[in-house]
Amino acid sequence: MDEDADLIDRLRAGDESAFVDLLGRYQARLLRLAQATVGSRAVAEEVTQDTWLAVMRGIERFEGRSSFKTWLFRVLLNRAHSAASRERRAGRPEQDVVERFDAAGHWAAPPVPWSDQVDDRLVASELAARVQSLLPQLPDAQREVLILRDIEHVEADQVAAMLGISDGNQRVLLHRGRTRLRALLTDEMGVNR
């Protein structure tokens, strides 16, 4: 049974607290997936907000053939892909390059040099931040599968259904994404392979 079924029933009945609970459960996850897909924090926030509006308008059409989480992530990915296409057509940078500099063209916050101490390199929060910053270097399909599987812990069959790919293709994309990410981290940290 869908872990969100009670919240969905309450939301359909007009219970605003159910929406607040769903927002608390999924907002950060949606924003992270949107940003990894579109590359821009500002666009990711718009995509996430648009996703929640679509959920509110379309909750009656949710049939429960998949989990709510799978349906929600699919709605987000559809909107994120459309937004990313619009941004590329508009010629806007895919990364938050503009946000890294102030109005005078100076660093808003100077880049942090990579520590020379091995212990500092392996601190979990720093490593997670590095992985997050490297994700945009992966091809779109690999990045989406890797985020859904390894960060969001979505089951393989749900990822395949969400992205409209075969289970075998999902496994290949996950393997290639992990391998590419590992190589990028290895290169960045200056570790011999």
Residue located via tokens 């990915």: 77
pLDDT at 173 over 60: yes
How many angstroms separate the CA atoms of 161 and 167, rounded? 8
Does any domain span residue 97? no
What is the radius of gyration, based on Cα positions, of the chain?
19
Q: What is the pLDDT of residue 92?
A: 53
The pLDDT of residue 24: 93
Same domain, 17 and 84: yes
Q: 191 vs 54, which has greater pLDDT?
A: 54
Provide the pLDDT confidence category of residue 166 given band limits of 50, 70 and 90. Answer: very high
Range of the domain at 179: 114-189
43-94 residue pLDDT tens: 999 999 999 999 999 998 888 888 899 899 999 999 998 888 887 776 655 4
pLDDT at 94: 45
* Total residues belonging to the chain: 193
Residue 125: CATH number of its domain:
1.10.10.10
Residue 129 maps to a domain: yes
| pLDDT score of 189 | 75
How many structural domains comprise the chain? 2
Mind listing the pLDDT tens digit for each residue in 118-165? Answer: 455 455 667 777 888 888 899 989 999 998 998 888 899 989 988 889
pTM exceeds 0.75, yes or no: no
172: tokens are: 């290949």
Indicate the residue among 55, 72, 89 that finishes a domain: 89
Give the contacts of 10 (CB within 8 A, at least 6 positions apart): 17, 18
Q: What angle do CA 187, 32, 81 make, to 5 degrees?
A: 95
Is residue 108 one of the residues assigned to a domain?
Answer: no
